[in-house]
Structure 1
Amino acid sequence: MSRYRETKLKPSNARASQDGDFFEISDTGMLGSWAVFFFYPADFTFVCPTELGDLAEQYQAFRKLWVEIYSVSTDTHFTHKAWHDASETIRKIQFPMIGDPTGTIARNFGVMIEEEGIADRGTFVVDPQSRIQVVEMTAGGTGRNAGELLRKIKAAQYIAAHPREVCPAKWREGEETLTPSLDLVGKI
């Protein structure tokens, strides 16, 4: 997948639930800022609430980085609200939960499991220029880690601010980076 692939929410509007309220959300409203599109299979399931709960617990750390999280499943915004009202874990979520009942958004990101009518576990970090900077695909039974996602976002933001440097494996904010050059070839 190209790191310059632009994201699209086609159609330009979708319905979302946030803090028990409904609203329209559009791709144009997301332009110009960092975003995470966090696809998951379905509401009222097993691994999904653990992942969303982990994101909810780390949400303020994402916001300090000026990153918005958009969780997306093929459920409706009505189902998101019902889950929010029924689950203590989901009730903690402050970020938008986008309903994608037609699967349009999931297809646009390439995570639609057509034969099941649900989204795969896909995570996409999108920069302010609408370019995908991080992609993670996880098997249905394997949950993701919000702390590791934060680390990857910090690395992507660092590289955006320092385009001549790269972040090595396990890089943490404040640690040494690398400056690619012929002098490093074969010496790492």
Structure 2
Amino acid sequence: MPQAINTEIKPFSATAFKQGEFVEITEADVKGKWAVFFFYPADFTFVCPTELGDVADKYEELQKLGVEVFSVSTDTHFTHKAWHSSSDTIGKINYYMVGDQSGNITNNFGVMREGAGLADRATFLIDPDGVIQAMEITAEGIGRDADDLLRKVKAAQYVRNHPGEVCPAKWKEGEATLTPSLDLVGKI
């Protein structure tokens, strides 16, 4: 069962590949900033590179919003480097590619496929307090959309910065929000 919304991420330690180097990361690297944990089944596959490439295309915009991206699979950081070196799509990635061969992080988030040793296709949006604000899990053949992820990040940041307001369905930056109240009940 996946970790619930509004729960804090659990401690972890891992090696990641980022911009040509291997780096050690822990949950301390996540706290104090917005973060996206982008789980996927495996390197050198089919849907996964399309998703990772899509996020890579939005990485600069996510960075401008103060968001760090951590892609996670149960492959090793060495495999991530090999994939990064051999694929044009993966080669454009500048965010963390986390090796979770122990499955610790994947299990912490509750997205390990039982008996398979692979992560589900899952996305978690973490606020600066280390608390999960949004999550999405899809079946093997259903790829995710980085534009929708970006929209969710902006909505989560808006709600955090504007207590008492909420973002309706399909909300986009600059559009009207709602202020829940007794007067609004039954009028939407």
What TM-score, normalized by structure 1, do the two folds share? Answer: 0.97
Question: In 2, Cα distance between the equivalents of 1:88 and 1:27?
Answer: 30
- 1:29 corresponds to which residue? 29
Secondary structure of the corresponding residue to residue 118 of structure 1: coil
Question: In 1, Cα distance between the equivalents of 2:113 and 2:27?
Answer: 23
Shift of residue 29, structure 1, vs aligned partner: 1.8
- 2:147 corresponds to which residue? 147
Shift of residue 8, structure 1, vs aligned partner: 1.8
Question: In 2, Cα distance between the equivalents of 1:2 and 1:183?
Answer: 31
Figure out how many residues of one structure are paired with residues of the other and give that number: 186
Secondary structure of the corresponding residue to residue 53 of structure 2: helix
- 1:6 corresponds to which residue? 8
Q: Tell me the alpha carbon deviations over residues 118-146 of structure 1, each in whole angstroms, 9 at most, x when there is no partner.
A: 00001000000111001101111110000
- 1:58 corresponds to which residue? 58
- 1:49 corresponds to which residue? 49
Q: Tell me the alpha carbon deviations over residues 38-81 of structure 1, each in whole angstroms, 9 at most, x when there is no partner.
A: 00000000000000000111111100100000000000000000
- 1:127 corresponds to which residue? 127
Q: Residue 185 in 1 paired to residue 166 in 2?
A: no
Percent identical pairs in the alignment equals 62
- 2:97 corresponds to which residue? 97
- 2:80 corresponds to which residue? 80
Q: Which ranges of 4 or more aligned residues in structure 1 deviate by more than 3 Å?
A: none
Residues 1:16 and 1:5: Cα distance change in structure 2 (over 3 Å): same
AA partner of residue 130 (structure 2) = S
Structure 2 spans left out of the alignment, 5+ residues:
none
AA partner of residue 177 (structure 1) = T
Structure 1 spans left out of the alignment, 5+ residues:
none
AA partner of residue 161 (structure 1) = N
Question: In 2, Cα distance between the equivalents of 1:32 and 1:21?
Answer: 23
AA partner of residue 40 (structure 2) = Y
Q: Residue 70 in 1 paired to residue 104 in 2?
A: no
Q: Residue 18 in 1 paired to residue 45 in 2?
A: no
Task: Judge conservation of contact 1:20–1:85 (CA < 8 Å) in 2.
Answer: no
Shift of residue 4, structure 1, vs aligned partner: 2.2
- CA RMSD in angstroms, aligned pairs only: 0.9
What TM-score, normalized by structure 2, do the two folds share? Answer: 0.97
Question: In 2, Cα distance between the equivalents of 1:166 and 1:30?
Answer: 25
Shift of residue 7, structure 1, vs aligned partner: 0.4
Question: In 2, Cα distance between the equivalents of 1:20 and 1:141?
Answer: 30
